[in-house]
Structure 1
């Protein structure tokens, strides 16, 4: 099991680094979007290339960040039933979901996208819009993104099996990280405390 856990740690490291790179893509997308809006309003000028690069960057954030999101357990979950089950039952649900749904879906996405990518590269496919961009750079994000997600699925499955075997900690526990809901709740508590303190001083 140790070699598999080493593989899992390697995958986690890769997706963590790739995920953090997508932060730059978010910044670039916002910067370009704001720049496009300003140029369009001030100079009455627009470029399809600059519009399309926003879509490319968004695709990069979504696809390259999927494995990172899974690593940090930030993906959307509907735990209406499983949240009432024991921890071992929840872990088994995760394992079966990864094995029978996530991995086959990722495999099919990669398998079906590869011919599209190779054809686009070979033909030099361009956008149909005037002044548009090459298509293959955004197409290639599909197999890369789903491969990273599949690898993270394997990593998460290994960690969950190790947990069931009693040789690893619970992989679903957050390691000192706060969810968006927890951060919002903390912000609201601090804001309420400040407002009460100010009201007390005025009284």
Structure 2
């Protein structure tokens, strides 16, 4: 169990740190677009879609990293009134819901991404850039898989903590 937790934590940490570098081309793309538009009166057709791609991948693939570091938005109203056992139960229930939702997202989005790949789907924005987006659709099941695996690791951590508190 500890090996699984370490492996998933490592994958979440690695993927989160790796995609965090996407903020640099995201900023560069937006700054370049603004400079061209306001100072030179030109239009950069590819900038909007590229910024969507950078931001989308950054947010989606950073989800497992965020979950690992407990940085998602949480409402702690209930846990404030619960004891340690109640908090553990609430955490496990929350993570089980995350796993269930991730399974549904993976199932539905993988089918959609597969169809998109077979069609070599292009952007619906109809800009002159018109990039292929099939690869982008694969980020959805990939990110849901990473988040689901991290949620399972978090369940294992909560159970390990619960067992250690019960033995004391």
In which range does the TM-score fall when normalised by the shorter chain?
over 0.9
Q: What residue number does 1:77 align with?
A: 74
Alignment of 1:9-158 (within 5 A): 9-99=6-96, 101-128=97-124, 129-130=126-127, 131-158=129-156
Aligned equivalents of 1:84, 1:27: Cα separation in 2 = 42
Aligned equivalents of 1:46, 1:25: Cα separation in 2 = 23
Answering whether residue 132 of structure 2 is matched by residue 159 of structure 1, we say no
- The answer to whether the Cα contact below 8 Å between 1:48 and 1:132 also exists between their aligned partners in 2 is no
Q: Deviations over 1:121-163 (max 9, x none)?
A: 1111111312221111211110010000000001000111111
Give the Å deviation of 1:166. Answer: 0.9
Aligned equivalents of 1:83, 1:70: Cα separation in 2 = 20
Aligned equivalents of 1:138, 1:112: Cα separation in 2 = 15
Runs of 5+ in structure 2 lacking a partner?
none
**Count of residues paired in the alignment:** 163
Q: Deviations over 1:30-84 (max 9, x none)?
A: 1111111111112222233221010111111111010000000100001112123
Aligned equivalents of 1:107, 1:9: Cα separation in 2 = 22
Q: What residue number does 1:198 align with?
A: none
Using the size of structure 1 for normalisation, the TM-score is 0.77
Give the Å deviation of 1:88. Answer: 2.4
* CA RMSD, Structure 1 to Structure 2 (Å): 1.3
Q: Deviations over 1:152-190 (max 9, x none)?
A: 0010001111111118xxxxxxxxxxxxxxxxxxxxxxx
Using the size of structure 2 for normalisation, the TM-score is 0.92
Give secondary structure in 2 for the equivalent of 1:81. Answer: helix
Aligned equivalents of 1:88, 1:65: Cα separation in 2 = 30
Give the Å deviation of 1:92. Answer: 1.2
Give secondary structure in 2 for the equivalent of 1:102. Answer: helix
Give the Å deviation of 1:21. Answer: 1.1
